[in-house]
């Protein structure tokens, strides 16, 4: 992997990640951009104990432009975009409309490929490995920023999810605090460790899932399963067999196997809702893919827990519950955070085992 860092016309950082070591990246951003002004601030909810990012400048962000005006495609001729070069393998840049900025953290965009009409599932294993290496590199770099406590790499895919740009891409949020979801995991981890005399909860969960029959696919170094208490109609968790706290700690063998396992999982997701009898297909499947990594800040509030107790894992889920129908977060989910799942996890796992990725 070759890494080349440059600056866009408004001062934002952009990094190329290339498969070839001899690739030269010297294109200049020719757009007449003024420096981005953000109004992001973090406000603490004292009743719930969580934080809200208020970012009013995001109201003006680009929304579903036509393909020939996509800001994530390469720049060609007089058609100028966020990426100055005429081609790229993987590129990461600071979001022009960030939810978090300055002392409130940082937001980045990750473009998986220059092919506007592709998806992550269309990547080759070599390309997917390059994305993994980019995620890992950005996690390392962002963790050193003074304001950053947790790094979150994720992909939103599909208009149903709320995606505003159709180009295959993901995002990285560098938070100035430990996120509420991670804090819940750490509290459960601490309680289980104390109650069992030191047993790791993540290890216990993985052992149970391997025994209970909700495994979707397995590799030598990775396991994908539908969790016992899945919140979403189709939800899969992908764990390395050897527990590590973050992407930086993944061993080379696991890094090498990841593209094959993950691409197979994504391709199965794209076939969940195919109507084989009628010959119809409802693809691509909208989904969210989210990496969970241990925070880089202090864990003193979680008694007895260290970073090494946390288990890196990826959660992949769709809001589509059946063909033509979405799972909406209505009263119970949105009002009380109590999910109601219409698809039994065992049935979801069986469906995902059945579908061919082709």
- DSSP lists the bridge partners of residue 171 as 109, 154
Q: How many residues are present in the chain? A: 358
Distance CA(204)–CA(218), nearest Å, equals 17
Among 144, 167, 169, 313, the one annotated catalytic: 169
User: Is the Cβ–Cβ distance between 355 and 348 less than 8 Å?
Assistant: no
Between the two ends of the chain, the Cα-to-Cα distance in Å is 29
| Number of Cβ atoms within 10 Å of the Cβ of 283 | 14
Distance CA(227)–CA(232), nearest Å, equals 10
Distance CA(105)–CA(139), nearest Å, equals 13
Q: Is 231 a catalytic residue?
A: no
Pairing of strands 313-318, 234-240: antiparallel
- Comparing C-alpha atoms, which of 90, 126, 120 is closest to residue 266? 120
**Catalytic site positions:** 169
């Amino acid at each position: 992997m070759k890494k080349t860092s440059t600056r866009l016309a408004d001062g934002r950082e952009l990094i190329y990640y290339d498969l070839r070591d001899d690739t030269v990246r010297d294109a200049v951003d020719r757009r007449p951009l003024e420096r981005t002004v953000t109004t992001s601030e973090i406000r603490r909810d004292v009743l719930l104990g969580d934080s809200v990012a208020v970012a009013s400048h995001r109201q003006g962000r680009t929304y579903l432009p036509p393909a020939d005006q996509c800001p994530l495609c390469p720049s060609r001729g007089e058609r100028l975009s966020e990426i100055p070069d005429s081609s790229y393998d993987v590129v990461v840049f600071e979001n022009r409309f960030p939810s978090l900025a300055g002392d409130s953290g940082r937001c980045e965009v990750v473009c998986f490929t220059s092919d506007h009409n592709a998806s992550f599932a269309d990547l080759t294993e070599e390309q997917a490995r390059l994305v993994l290496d980019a995620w890992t590199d950005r996690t390392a770099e962002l963790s050193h920023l003074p304001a950053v406590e947790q790094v979150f790499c994720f992909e939103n895919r599909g208009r149903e999810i709320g995606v505003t740009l159709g180009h295959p891409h993901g995002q990285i949020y560098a938070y100035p605090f430990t996120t509420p979801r991670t804090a819940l995991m750490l509290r459960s981890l601490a309680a289980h460790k104390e109650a069992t005399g030191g047993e790791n909860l993540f290890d216990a969960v993985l052992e149970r899932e391997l025994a209970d029959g909700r495994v979707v696919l397995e590799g030598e170094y990775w396991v994908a399963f539908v969790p016992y208490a899945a919140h979403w109609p189709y939800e899969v968790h992908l764990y390395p067999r050897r527990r590590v706290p973050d992407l930086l700690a993944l061993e080379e063998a696991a890094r090498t196997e990841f593209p094959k396992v993950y691409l197979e999982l994504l391709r199965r997701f794209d076939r969940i809702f195919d109507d084989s009898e009628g010959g119809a297909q409802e693809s691509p499947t909208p989904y969210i893919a989210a990496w969970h990594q241990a925070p880089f800040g202090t864990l003193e509030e979680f008694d007895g827990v260290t970073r090494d107790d946390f288990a890196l894992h990826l959660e992949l889920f769709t809001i589509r519950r059946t063909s033509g129908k979405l799972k909406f977060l209505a009263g119970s989910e949105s009002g009380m955070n109590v999910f109601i799942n219409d698809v039994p996890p065992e049935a979801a796992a069986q469906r995902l085992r059945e579908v061919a990725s082709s």
